[in-house]
Structure 1
């Protein structure tokens, strides 16, 4: 195993993290789908998966960490010229990413929350805003405390809110680079 990945695992275990969750666009994947990704662009999108994401996930799986994707890409966004026949988004897009990038066993272990509060009638409720709904779903699915979740996202307001409001450990990712192992190392080293 790559010694940097080994150190990441050591730090996660030291900090009692049980679930590692990733935003999708500009975090797990170095590209924006913008809720408008055409099906014929899917392979290009998947080819932009962060190499660090692709390398870390199998090690996390081997060590028994829960794995999650928390994305604002949402099937509720299908409307107008964004049609199911021509576009891919939400959980279908996240599933395509993990199914293509990882073994079937690892891909099946992912818990995916694809929800954009702006597209739901209850999205303005306090517990649904930003990515609060996502964090609650992840917490409930894995049966863990918020402090046992580590979440990576490229949007500062999301990172701050998930940490302060939800109590989840968060690390900001540079959107121009997507997830890097150094994000994890620098975010957990005290």
Structure 2
């Protein structure tokens, strides 16, 4: 486990080479998940955008697994919570990047590639659709989570970081659950018979 020297000018310590290789492999796996058998044609751009959302959701359980203080991975690997926290941060970064790709690609698809027969009345009509508003709420919540998790913010205002992490995560999950309707396998309905 060789520890490389700090990055010049930034003076930031890098993780060990083993950790870096594992993280690069994880990034590669996410690129594979996102692009596997994806046709690279403009008419399939929606699939590219949608796949970014699915890649985000697939990583969500891993993010929670790595966030727990008494996580099962600690028992399996023999590593401390602090040693595994780097993976929690990298998973969060990948998820926020996938959320950004999903959002930007969906907007690009709506503005330039959406077929006429599917187009909504106006851009305002598109962005005020409840499904889109819920997605924007989830996107903003997760991106705020990322920015308040940056080391500079965390070190200066740790208590604010903890409080915002909990509150933003609750809001983000609520928005995501409502936005990603296929995450609700059972529709609850009441009969007034």
TM-score normalised per structure 2: 0.28
Larger radius of gyration: 2
TM-score normalised per structure 1: 0.28
- Structure number with greater CO (CA < 8 Å, separation at least 6) is 1
Point out the structure with the larger strand share.
Answer: 1
Point out the structure with the larger helix share.
Answer: 2
